[in-house]
Structure formats: C-alpha cells, structure tokens
Structure 1
Amino acid sequence: MSITLRNIKVWNTGEVIDLVVPGTAAAYFADTSVVADGADIDATGLTVAPGFEDPHVHFRDPGQTYKESMVSGCRASASGGYTNVLIMPNTLPALDGQTVSGPEATGAKEVLDAGFDNVIDFLQQYDTAHDVQLPVRYDLCVCASKDRAGHEASDVADWLKYVPGFEDDAKTPAMLTHPITAISDDGSAVTPEILDQVLENVKASDLYLIEHCEHHDTGAVNEGPVSRELGVPGIPEDTELKIVARDIEAARRTGVHVHFQHVSTAISFEAIRRAKAEGLPITCETAPHYLALSDEALLKYGTLAKMNPPLRSEADRKATIAAIADGTVDLLATDHAPHTLAEKELGFLEAPNGIIGLECAYGVCHKVLVDGGFISDERLIELMSVGPAELMGHVPTDVAALVEDYAEPAPTGDDPDGVIAGESDAQPQREGVNRLLDLSRVDDADNVDLVVLNAAEEWTVDPEQFHSKARNTPFGGWQVTGRPLATIIGSQLMFSRL
C-alpha cells in the first residue's frame, strides 16, 4: 500500500507533481490520526523538499536522560521536519572515545549496562541495544579534548576508526550508519593550550572543527542596558570576536576548515565576511533565537531566554538577519538544548544555558525571515537543508531529478499507445496530468530523505505538544507561519501531521 499526495510543489522548480510514498500506517508516528494506507490526499499548496538537517543538537543521552533521550530527541527531530542531525559531544561521559570509568561516574552505568565500554559505540548501536526504531538519521561529533575538559586533546587513536575513510574494511554497519563527522568542545571554545594539537587531529582525520566561538569566565547575559537593569553580570560582545579572530588566523595558517557555531554579533559576522572574501575555509551558522530575539527578551521570558552565546542587542539581531540575507551565514542550526523547567527557574546566575528548538525552528525562521521579506521560501530551505547537508558531507535529495514523465505505473499487457509493458518504465506524459514521483520506483530509495511543508500554515507554538521531553523555550505561545507536515526517510514515512 501507499499514500499519494496530489498536486504538491517541488521546492526549487515550482513544478506541481504527484508524490507516492510507500509503506504502511504502522511505520510512522503522527500528531493527528494516522493516515490510512491507500489514502489519496489533495496536497495543493504544500511543498516537497529535501529533509532538514541540523548540525547542532544535544540529546543528553547518556548521562542526563531526564532532560532528553535518544528516543525523545529523535522524535522531536522528525516532528520538526529533520531527517539528519549531528549530536554534540557534551554527553556524560563525554563523547571522546575513551573507555568509560567505573559505573559510579554519571552516565557510565547506562553505557556499561547496554554492553559497551565507550560512548561512541553506545550511541552508534543505540537502536539495536535498546530495541527501538529511531525516526531520524544522526552523525556524531567527537570531543576536541579528553573528557571535554580543555586540558588535553582527545586521542585520535580512540576514535579514528569511526571516521569515514579510515579502516573502512573493518567498519561495522553501525560505524557507517552513524559516523563521526566533526570535532568540537561545544559549550566552550577549544582552549589555547591544545588548539594546535586539535588542528593536527582535524587534519589527520580529514574532519572539520566546529567551534563554539566564545570563552568567558564570568557573566550570564549580554553586557548592556538589559544586564544592568537585571543586575546580572554581563558578557561583552568581543568575547565572541576574540575566538572568531583567533580561529580565522588558525585557518589561514593551517588550511583547516573551521565552522563557527551560533554566531551572534555584528562584529563577528564582519570578521567572517572578510575571511570568506579572502577565500579561507570558513563557514558559519546561526540559530533561530538569534534572529528572532534580542537581549530585551530576557525582561519578558527570564531564564527561558538565557543561552550561550547570550542573546545580543537589537542591533546585533538585525545584523544577524543581514548576514543571513547576504549569504555570510551558510546555514541555520537549532542548538537544541533540553533542560528541565526546574533547572531553568534557578535564576540567571545558576540556570543552565540553552533552549529547545527542533520542533518550531521552521515556523520561527519562516515568520521572521520569509514573512519579514528578507529571504525567499527557497532560500530558507537551502539554509535548513542543503547547507547543513553539505557541511556534514551528505548529499541532499535532488527532488526534481527523481520526477518522471509518467502518470502512473506501467500497466500489464499492451497499453493504448502501443507501448509493451516491460519495454519501458514510463508512459508519455498525458495532458493535464501531473508528472509523478513514486518513491517505490526510485533507484537508491534508501537515501531519499524528504520533508513536506505547508509554508502558509499559521499555528501557535505549544511546548506541551512537543515530542521532546523538555519544555524550555521562549517561543511558547508565538504565532508563526510555516510547518513541516511529513518527514520521509529512506523513502518511508516516519512522521506525519497530514
């Protein structure tokens, strides 16, 4: 059986086609009633695009599964239209490839009880060890330093075998399915004392460095009028620029690809803009909260708007949008960071940084960027799908290339036009009938990842309806436009709110 979406638009060509998704109703989860097998749905006004990819998520598994787990994080991803994510290394124990210590260490018992001795194996084989189906693809980001402590660079020997292109003849299917594709100490910048060794590790592994472009020892929110009104120590904007400038110079010196995460200030964007003009191997991302909120949001949302880097000034917010519009920003990433509401209620000095974002990112970005007239629908999809996929070394699905010139599967026997079944896989296009993308007929169907979008849908963000365990977002109650309606991975429907 299958589900057919009639009159759906291809995201980058505008062609209206019919999309056939194979599989059964039991193969996916849904926000609404499950769509019946064989359903024929009028998808007029909807868009099909390559699945979103997010190179910056925190799933808290192992070590803090009361905040999020692989299961809840992956379900949140699929709900947000994401087909692939990159898991950051601040798990407990850290994702550094070292053998975990005794079970008394936070998270170590989870790893050992599952039958593994390091976090990489634990995450790569999570589905089989826990007998679950995870509805999203994921890659892993390894720690730049041991224990992510910043004192000693992680040992390439502990994780190189998990990297694509190294010892491929000895790789297990799990190593190939969930490979290590980047290096980071996300949460803080790589420390100066180990930077050169980390860059050598990046070169030796042919990966790229994901840099948290900020380091500060004091402060909780952006330094400025809001921090003074709140009476909270501030973080100067040049804390970000110092790391950006340092690492641009490192890229110039070594040729290593440096990717800056969640850039938030006008001065950093200008430095990155100049580095790109110079031809240096620099890319960058920002997150929905930096284009949608300024530090003034702290006065309304309190610690729900506390993050690192902190929300910046309104001028910086506008500079972030300008950097997206002029192409300085290569992609958008959520920095999905789950915490409990009890933790976020501890006050500005003690509450953890971060917000969740996977399930409302498209709506927030569409509301601000597309409805605001800064970029097109097509460009937003590029920023959330094509750009992240290219960064992570994936090939985004070329939807238009899969569309064929037939209206339905070839019939048995002779067809009315004299084409013998079996001699051709396609019928001539009939006037007034859409061309077809039938995922059951696609070559390499296992690698076809798509998202179905309603760019015009107006909806209210309700964290209580999220699939994430966490609720820590300032966007609750926001009226946004644009919503993912279905997530298709490997040509199979994984999530639906059709």
Structure 2
Amino acid sequence: MAITLHDITVWDTGERIDLIVDDSPDALAEKPVGTDVDASGLTLAPGFADPHVHFRDPGQTYKESMVSGCAASASGGYTNVLVMPNTVPAMDGETLDDPMAPGAKEVLDAGYTGVIDYLQHYEAAHGVKLPVNYDLCVCASKGRAGHEATEVAKWRRYMPGEDTANKDEYQLAHPVTAISDDGAAVTPAILDQVLANTKESGLYLIEHCEHHDTGAVNEGPVSRELGVPGIPEDTELAIVARDIEKVRETGVHVHFQHVSTAISFKAIRAAKAEGLPITCETAPHYIALSDEALLKYGTLAKMNPPLRSEADRQATIEAIADGTVDMLATDHAPHTLAEKQLGFLEAPNGIIGLECAYGVCHKVLVDGGFISDKRLIELMATEPTKLMGHTPTDIAALLDAQQDAAHAEGTGKRVLDLRGCDDGTEIGLVVLDTAQQWTVDPERFHSKARNTPFGGWQVSGRPLATVIGSTLAFSRL
C-alpha cells in the first residue's frame, strides 16, 4: 500500500512537495496510517544518525536488545546508528571458543563464532526485520581490557570494501566502521599501537575522552553536598590534550565522544584551528542538565563523563553555537531501574536518550535561540552520517532525478515517489513536527530501559515517521 504525505516542506530548500512511500507489514506504527496524510506544517529531512549507542546485545539483553534498541532508534527519528563494542563478550574480532564465557552461548547457539558475525547476521539469526540501519564499532583492545591492542587481521574482513565478493547482504549492510574502547579511554600502554591499527585500517578512533580512578560525580559543591567522591574536570582534558598531541604526530582522525567541559572545548577549538583531523560530539544531557540535577534526579542523572557545572553546561552550548561541536550523539546506555537505584557509588553510569533526544535538543537549542532548526538537523543527521562513512540523503537531488515524473495534478508541486527507488536502503528520511509540544513519558518508550531523568519534561519538536529506502519503518503520523 502506498502512503502519500501531502504538502511537506523540504528541510534545507523550503520547497513543498508530496512524498510517496510504501507501507510495510514490518513497520512500527503507534496508530493506523492512512493512505493520504496532510503533512502541511511538517518537515522532511535526512534521517538522524547516532554514532554512539549501546544495545547490550549479546550478553545483557535484559537491559536492551538489538530489536528493542533499533525500535527505540526508529521511534526517535534515527535511520542509522553505530553500535559500541562493550558487548558481552566484547566486539573485538576474536573467535569464541568457551561456551561457558558470559554471553558466548547465545552467539554460539545461533551458529556464529564471533560477536561481529553474530551482530552482522542478527536479522537472519533471529528471523526479524530491524527498522534501522546500523554499523559496528570494533574494540581497540582485546576484551576491552586495555592490556593488548586488537589485531587488524582479525577484523579487517568486516570492514566496508574488504572482500566484498565473499560477503553476503548482511555483512555488506552492517560493516565495522570505527574503533573504540568506549566506556574507557584507550590506555597509555597500547595507545600507539591502536593509532597504528587505526591508520593501517583507514578507520577512525572514537575516544572516550575521560579517565578517573576514583569518584562518582562531578567534583564541586554538589558532590560535597551529596557526600560523594568527586571527579575533577581535568580528567577529561588530560585525555583530550594527550590525544590531540598524538593526532599532531600521526595524522590519525580522532573523534572525541561526549565532550562536557569548557577547558576541553577550548583545547579542541584550538586544535581544529590548527587544521588537525579532529571531530567531537556532545550529548543532549550535557546541554540540558548540570550537576545540580543530581539533587533532583539522583542516580538517574549519574553518567560518565559526569554532568558538569552550570558554567560547563553553558560552555557546551556555546561550543555548539560556534561550530566547535560537530554533532550530537545520545550515548544511549540502557540499565535497569534496580541497577540505577543502587546508590551513587554502585549504580552504573548512563542514561537512555534515543527517543527524546530531538525534543530535548530542540527545546534547549532552538527554542533557546542558540541555533536554527536547520542547524539542529545538521548536527543530528548530516554530520554524524558523514562521520560514519555514509552519504546523507539529498532530498533535492532525488527530486531533480525525478523531474520528468508526473507532478501532483493542478498544484504545481513536485512529487518524490520512492516506490521501487533504486537507491534502496541508502535512503534514510525523517518526518518532523518542529512545533509539536509533548511530554516525555518513558513508559511509552520502545526501549526496554527507563533510566532517564527526562521523564515528565515538556519538550518541543518530535519525529513523526522514519523512512528506510522506499518503505515506512516507523510512524506516529
């Protein structure tokens, strides 16, 4: 069945068009979708891309699975995500030979001998259709233990463009595109080898730019009020400064994750002015919350890096506004509420973010007058898509390619008819209501997890549908 969205506005040109897509029995729909939708007042944009998600599959699927994580992604307007390697077992390219090791049995029982193979073939192994595209990130160190760098030879074949003649459709669709030990910075003992591996493979290093051995929350008045050991802000700068120097030496592209302090942004700003191949992201929680949120939300606001001071929050917004920040990523980190209730010293770090990221960022950044709607789409869609090695969907180019097709009768509008489009899954689109006011309700999330401090927040702007290839993948139209 074809669905036509009438009079929708293209995000970067302002042109009003009609969009025709195929419905699918696999689509996630929060309510029935009609064949004709009045989309006046809605915006059509390239699908969001998130270069930083944790789906806990394999090994901790009680927190999240590929199915629930991808559903959460589609619900949040994402059409592509990069899955971090802190799975259990770790995504390091090693062959699994001990079925008693945590998480190994579910991989071996599915007929695969490694985590990368398993995740590449997840849909085939489980007989499911996932509503979002995804790439994989390989560990920088074996077992993510920080002691020994992974071996390029053990994971090169999973990269795009490598041995394509012997790859099936799943391997081609879900390649390894980055290296990281996310959750921890690459250790000094193996940093040079990891950078050499990065350079040899042609991938880029995603760096968790923060290291501390003690502490649970940001060091300052709030940590002292809570009586909880603090983490100084220079624990982030130490990794940022170290890696900038290594980039200067090697020319390797390093991408800094979840940057959160004014002093780190200052160093990154200077490095970029020098022309070094450095990119960085921050996350919605660092622009919306300071460490004072710990007093209200408790461990729901505990994360790593920790929420910083109000001055750092303002500096993060400034770094977005002046272009120092290249993109926004969620660092979607599912945990059970029981785990998050263990207290500040024992509770795991992290919050979920895929399903409310756009609304939170739009409320703070666009409604706050710091950036435009167009710039927010760039930060959440086009820039992370390019980082991940993909081409953002160019709506105007697709329209031009169909310029000889029939226009909507009597309206003068052009029609973008994606049915049977040759570009297949390379097309990723999101339909946005940039004006919608809505309340974040974690109980309605598609994620298995509920660990967010944003429950009950009034936010603005909401993704209403995602399109993969020619097909509707998710809808709340």
Question: TM-score scaled to structure 1, two decimals?
Answer: 0.94
Aligned partners of 1:262 and 1:286 also within 8 Å: yes
Quote how far apart the aligned CAs of 1:100 are: 1.7
* Residue number in structure 1 paired with 2:253: 257
1:446 and 1:168 mapped to 2: Cα distance? 18
- Percent of counterpart pairs with the same letter? 75
| Contact 1:451 1:485 survives alignment (8 Å) | yes
- Write the deviation string for residues 176-229 of structure 1: whole angstroms up to 9, x where unpaired: 110000000000000000000000100111000000001110000000000000
Equivalent residue, structure 2, for 1:175:
171
Q: In structure 2, the residue corresponding to 1:242 is in which secondary structure?
A: helix
The separation in 1 between residues aligned to 2:401 and 2:106, in whole angstroms, is: 52
The answer to whether the 8 A contact 2:407-2:414 is kept is no
Compute the displacement of 1:441 (Å): 6.0
Q: Displacement of 1:490 after TM fit?
A: 1.1
Could you list the per-position Cα deviations for residues 312-366 of structure 1 after superposition, in whole angstroms to 9, with x for gaps in the alignment? 0000000000000000000000000000000000000000000000000000000
Q: Distance in 2 between matches of 1:457 and 1:403?
A: 27
State the shift of 1:157 in Å. 1.5
Structure 1 residue 29 and structure 2 residue 35: aligned?
no
Partner of 1:439: 418
CA distance in 1, matches of 2:407, 2:26: 33
Match of 2:180 in 1: 184
1:454 aligns with 2:433: yes
Q: How many residues align?
A: 477
1:473 is aligned with what amino acid? T
Give the CA deviation at 1:440.
1.7
| 1:478 paired to 2:457 | yes
Give the drift of 1:425. 4.2
Checking the alignment, whether the CA contact within 8 Å between 2:418 and 2:469 is kept in structure 1 is: no
Deviations 1:389-408 (A, max 9, x none): 010000010011222598xx
Secondary structure of the corresponding residue to residue 295 of structure 2: helix
Residue 20 of structure 1 deviates from its aligned partner by 0.9
The 1:170/1:427 distance shift into structure 2, 3 A limit, reads: closer
Shift, 1:435, TM fit? 1.3
Which residue of 2 is the match for residue 398 of structure 1? 394
- In 2, Cα distance between equivalents of 1:137 and 1:289: 24
Q: Could you say what the CA RMSD is over the residues aligned between the two structures, in angstroms? A: 1.4
1:380 corresponds to: 376
Aligned to 1:357: 353
The alpha carbon displacement at 1:27 in A equals 3.4
2:62 is aligned, of 27, 48, 66, to 66
* CA pair 335-298 structure 1, distance change in 2 beyond 3 A: same
1:231 deviates by 0.3
Partner of 1:421: none
In 2 relative to 1, CA 489–427 (structure 1 residues): closer, same or farther, beyond 3 Å?
A: closer
Q: What is the one-letter code of the residue matched to 1:469?
A: K
What does residue 148 of structure 2 align with? 152
Amino acid aligned to 1:444: D
Moved more, 160-169 or 287-296: 160-169
Match of 1:2 in 2: 2
In the alignment, is the contact (CA less than 8 A) between 1:439 and 1:445 conserved in 2? no
Q: Determine helix, strand or coil for the equivalent of 1:403.
A: helix
User: CA–CA distance in 2 between the matches of 1:3 and 1:134?
Assistant: 21
Question: 3-state SS of the aligned residue for 2:419?
Answer: helix
Other structure's SS at 1:128 match: helix
Q: 443-452 vs 209-218, which deviates more?
A: 443-452
Bigger radius of gyration:
1
Query: Residue 26 of structure 2 contacts residue 129 of structure 2 at CA under 8 Å; is this kept in 1?
Result: no
1:465 equivalent in structure 2? 444
1:105 aligned onto 2:104: no
SS of corresponding position for 2:287: helix
SS at match of 1:452: strand
SS at match of 1:48: strand
After TM superposition, give the deviation of residue 443 of structure 1 in Å: 4.0
- Which amino acid is 1:18 matched to? D
Provide the secondary structure at the position in 2 that maps to 1:495. strand
* Structure 1 residues 84 and 303: CA distance shift in structure 2, 3 A: same
Task: Tell me the amino acid that sits aligned with residue 180 of structure 2.
Answer: S
Please say if residues 18 and 408 of structure 2, whose CA atoms lie closer than 8 Å, have aligned partners that are also in contact: no
Judged with a 3 Å threshold, the aligned counterparts in structure 2 of structure 1 residues 428 and 100 are, in CA distance, closer, same or farther, namely closer
Shift of 1:429: 8.1
Letter of the 2:92 counterpart: D
Kindly indicate whether the alpha-carbon contact (under 8 Å) linking 2:326 and 2:379 is maintained by their aligned counterparts in 1: yes
Q: Secondary structure at the match of 1:382?
A: helix
Preserved CA contact (<8 Å) 1:265 1:316: yes
Structure 2 portions without partners, runs of 5+: none
- Where does residue 53 of structure 1 map in the other structure? 49
